[in-house]
Amino acid sequence: MSNATFEQALKKLEASVRKLEEGSLGLEDALKTFEEGIHWSRQCHSRLADAEKRVEMLLRTDKEELTQVAFDLGDE
C-alpha cells in the first residue's frame, strides 16, 4: 500500500506501535511488526515532506501576495 494517504499510514504505524508495546509478540513477529512500522513511518514522513513542499511553493512569490505554483507529486 505505497499509495496510502497520510492518515492511513499513520493508523498503520500506530497499530504497529501498539502491537510492539503490548510485549506479547515473539521475536520473529516483533521484527516483522517493527519492519512494517518503519515502512509506515517512512510513508508518513514522505507525505509530510510533500505537504511541506506544497506549502512552500504556495507561499513563494515575487510579490506580497500568495500565489499557487504547479507542483509535481511524483508517483501520485
pTM over 0.75: no
Q: What is the pLDDT of residues 3-61, one digit of tens each?
A: 899 999 999 999 999 999 999 999 999 999 999 999 999 999 999 999 998 888 887 76
User: What residues does each domain of the chain span?
Assistant: 6-59
Looking at residue 71, what is its pLDDT?
63
CATH code assigned to 6-59: 1.10.287
Cell matching residue 6:
497520510
Mean pLDDT of the region 49-76? 71
Euclidean distance between CA atoms 30 and 23, whole angstroms: 9
Looking at residue 1, what is its pLDDT?
47
Euclidean distance between CA atoms 56 and 66, whole angstroms: 10
| Cβ-Cβ contacts under 8 Å for 13 (sequence gap 6 or more) | 37, 40, 41, 43, 44
